[in-house]
Structure 1
Amino acid sequence: MAAAKIKKGDRVIVLSGRDKGKTGEVTTSFPKDGKVIVSGVNVAVRHTKPSQGDPEGGLKRSEAPMHISKVAHVTAGGKPTRVRFETQDGKKVRVAVKTGEKISG
């Protein structure tokens, strides 16, 4: 499996689907599945009945994983960009394609 270009803590923008154009931070990454969870995006709502463990019940909201191809890294200017790998000082680093700036992490 290739190295993940989007990692936990990255600021990303959604490229397609219901949440197109929304931005958020990657809270969890699943590189083997090729999915990420982005805060505030792709929120799933589940209706739950009251139970002993959860006496309130009601609507439970949680962020669902989305495919990594639906998100792109965001530059400082707020524009989406692809990510490439370069070798700098003998280390492999992630670089934004549009701006050429190094991405931390």
Structure 2
Amino acid sequence: MKSKFVKQKIHVKVGDTVKVISGKDKGKIGKINQILAKKNTVIVEGVNFKTKHQKSRQEGEAGSIVKKEAPIHSSNVMYYSEKDDIVSRIGAKEIAEGSKTRYLVKNQEVIK
């Protein structure tokens, strides 16, 4: 049986600063901690917290409430340039024979 999810190329990488463009956390900015390629989702630092109630494991130990960052779909984030304070799509261009670099489409800024 085939997987329910279709793996697509994700336009951002781990460590990129992104801005959430839709959903309950719209407008928030954070760095990408992890990419879940099979589900086309990303985990962004400080965005989309979910609350989990944990039972006590041992007698006498108190239960706890843990807040954890949950994944959001990669289409709901865009690369964010802190230098120019803009969000933009990412393009790729060849700077030398055989080496490509990423750049912002809006202002042609080269990404590290």
TM normalised by structure 2 equals: 0.83
Query: Greater Rg, structure 1 or structure 2?
Result: 2
Any unmatched runs of 5+ in structure 2? 1-6
The residue type paired with residue 38 of structure 2 is K
**5+ residue gaps, structure 1:** none
Displacement of 1:78 in angstroms is: 2.0
Correspondence for 2:75: 69
Q: Is 1:18–2:18 an aligned residue pair?
A: no
Aligned-partner Cα distance in 1 for 2:29–2:9: 23
Aligned positions, number: 102
More moved, 88-97 vs 12-21: 88-97
Q: CA deviation at 1:2?
A: 5.8
Following TM superposition, by how much is the alpha carbon of 1:4 offset from its aligned partner in structure 2, in angstroms?
3.2
Verify: 1:88 aligned to 2:98, yes or no: no
CA RMSD of aligned residues (A): 1.5
Indicate conservation of the 8 Å contact 2:101/2:111, yes or no. Answer: yes
Deviation by residue 1:47-103 (Cα, 9 ceiling, x = unmatched): 112113xx3422111101111000000012221110111111131211111111111
- Tell me the amino acid that sits aligned with residue 63 of structure 1: E
For the 8 Å contact 1:13–1:80, the answer to whether it is kept is yes
> Is 8-17 or 30-39 further displaced after alignment?
30-39
